[in-house]
Amino acid sequence: MREDEKMKMTFKLLAVAIALGLAPLSADARVKIDITQGNVEPMPIAVPEFIAAAGGNPELAKNITEVVKADLDRSGLFSIIDPRAYIEDVANLNVRPRFADWRLINAQVLVVAEVKSLADGRIDVATRVWDVYADEQLGAVSFKTPADNWRRAAHKVADFVYKALTGEEGYFDTRIVFVHETGPKAKRVKQLMIMDQDGANPAPLTDGLNYQVLTPRFSPTQQQITYMALYDKKPGQIFLFNIATGEQEQLGTFRGMTFAPRFSPDGSQVLMAMERNGNSDVFRMDLATRALTRLTDNPGIDVSPTMSPDGRRIAFASDRGGSQQIYVMEANGQNQKRITFGEGRYMTPVWSPRGDLIAFTRQYQGRFYIGVIRPDGQGERLLTESYLDEGPTWSPNGRVLMFHREQSPGDGPSLWSVDLTGRNLRRVRTPADASDPAWSPLLP
């Protein structure tokens, strides 16, 4: 399998922080974006084209710059100042910039980087982030990686800048697994694909399976996913898929359908729904022992379980009260409590990796919405709306949601992302129709 080799390729990305021998990230940096606020004014930053070191490759330096800029721009937190406005021509990474020149064009932050080609075929991307108004360096970092792995180096740089300016981990060096949909609606072929978070490097993960692949979910701790296989003429079942080895394994064989799988935050368990005699309840499977534990036992439909990052609680959707709503219970199934009470139906709860919010799909009067609510049921906010928005997945830092959308009746599904302000809605490019995105943890 071609993908195997690709996955086995060692991503040796050496982050040599402060390799440049300058002061580490100062704790009281003056420039800081508070992304906990609902409405963030994008921070103007300057990102001149990365310097190609002597004997280096200017084309490569330019490409890396573009990927970094695209990441930062897509986050909605930064507004990248048009390079044609730049006054200083930055030619040396190790010379202090003329801050006045950058203040003049209202840049708050300046990112300067240099790309070096090393003798062993790797490249070294060294970056400095400058606070233009404080005349000081916010951070410096150097990443070494095989030259053909340059996109990941770019994402690492973007993550470094993001963290330097927000104080939080970034999410750019991540990947998305999703369902690649081809063929007419009545006989859809649904395969797994994987791509970089920005849509680059799409590659098939499965091919020629005799079932449709639905609802893939990433392990929060490993390059592993779980998904549902929808068979012809037998109940669908849950699989584990190891991305690194390509190995797949059905998680038990049950008389009833097993579906809606999701890893626990530590990756040691898979929560799922299991149907018996037509009724669906929530179960937990321990991956080491394969022991299955029933967590709900209710005549209503209980589906879509998701665990809080501390492992203590589980949210799920149930129609036990007449319409589908979101409930929260303790991890052992005790104290099941409804947390949504709005009109319409609430489905597909997904607990944020930060623990502070639960994302959901809401259906109301013929429209679908992606929203978030606090685990105590307070503070509901709807972030998106369309003919069909469904299946949110969190960026590993809990700041961005990706989901799939059918814009209008009859449209095929496409992937979209939105931040927690709801203002930064973007389409994510995919090779064809795409659904059920699953966001990976930050790559090591």
Partner 1 sequence: MNFSAVFKAAGVAGLVLLAACASSKGPDVVANGDTGSTGGTRGSAAAPGSQEDLEQNAGHRVFFGYNEYTLTPQAQATLARQAAWLKQYPNVRIMLAGNCDERGTREYNLALGARRAEAARAYLVSLGVDGSRVQTVSYGKERPLDTRSTEDAWSVNRNATTTITSVGS
- The contact set with partner 1 (CB under 8 A) reads 183-189, 210, 212, 214-215, 228, 230-236, 256-257, 259-260, 273, 275, 277-280, 301, 303-304, 317, 319, 324, 345, 347-348, 361, 363, 366, 387-388, 390-391, 409-410, 436
- Other C-beta atoms closer than 10 Å to the C-beta of 283 total 20
Nearer CB in complex with partner 1: 121/278:
278
* Closest separation in Å from C-beta 292 to partner 1: 18
The least CB distance from residue 267 to partner 1, in Å, is: 21
Cα-Cα end-to-end distance for the chain: 23
Between residues 114 and 436, which has the closer beta carbon with respect to partner 1?
436
SS3 for the chain is CHHHHHHHCCCCCEECCCCCCCCCCCCCCCCCCCCCCCCCCCEEEECCCCEECCCCCHHHHHHHHHHHHHHHHHCCCEEECCHHHCCCCCCCCCCCCCHHHHHHCCCCEEEEEEEEECCCCEEEEEEEEEECCCCEEEEEEEEEEEHHHHHHHHHHHHHHHHHHHHCCCCCCCCEEEEEEEECCHHHCEEEEEEEECCCCCCEECCCCCCCEEEEEEECCCCCEEEEEEECCCCCCEEEEEECCCCCEEECCCCCCCEEEEEECCCCCEEEEEEEECCEEEEEEEECCCCCEEECCCCCCCEEEEEECCCCCEEEEEECCCCCCEEEEEECCCCCCEECCCCCCEEEEEEECCCCCCEEEEEEECCEEEEEEECCCCCCCEEEEEECEEEEEEECCCCCEEEEEEECCCCCCCEEEEEECCCCCCEEECCCCEEEEEEECCCCC
Residue 293 beta carbon to partner 1: minimum distance, rounded to whole angstroms: 19
| Closest to partner 1 by CB, 77 or 282 | 282
Q: CB-wise, 55 or 322, nearer to partner 1?
A: 322
The distance of closest approach from Cβ of residue 61 to partner 1 in the complex, given in angstroms and rounded to an integer, is 44
Nearer to partner 1, 72 or 329 (CB): 329
Of 102 and 394, nearer to partner 1 (C-beta) is 394
Residue 77 CB, shortest distance to partner 1, in Å, is 30
Q: Of the two residues 55 and 366, which places its CB atom closer to partner 1 in the complex?
A: 366
Q: Least distance from C-beta 216 to partner 1, angstroms?
A: 12
In the complex, the smallest distance separating the C-beta of residue 304 from partner 1, rounded to whole angstroms, is 5
The CB-of-327 to partner 1 minimum distance in angstroms stands at: 14
d(CA 417, CA 312): 28
Contacts of 53 (CB under 8 A, 6+ apart): 114, 115, 116, 117
> Distance between CA 385 and CA 370 in Å, rounded?
7
The residue among 97 and 391 lying less far from partner 1, judged by its C-beta, is 391
Residues in the chain: 444
In the complex with partner 1, the residue whose CB is nearer, 223 or 340, is 340
Beta carbons within 8 Å of 82's beta carbon, 6+ residues apart: none
Nearer to partner 1, 248 or 363 (CB): 363
Compare residues 187 and 290 and give the one whose CB is closer to partner 1.
Answer: 187
Closest distance of CB 380 from partner 1, Å: 17
Minimum distance of partner 1 from residue 163's CB (angstroms): 34
We find the least distance from the C-beta atom of residue 387 to partner 1, in angstroms, to be: 8
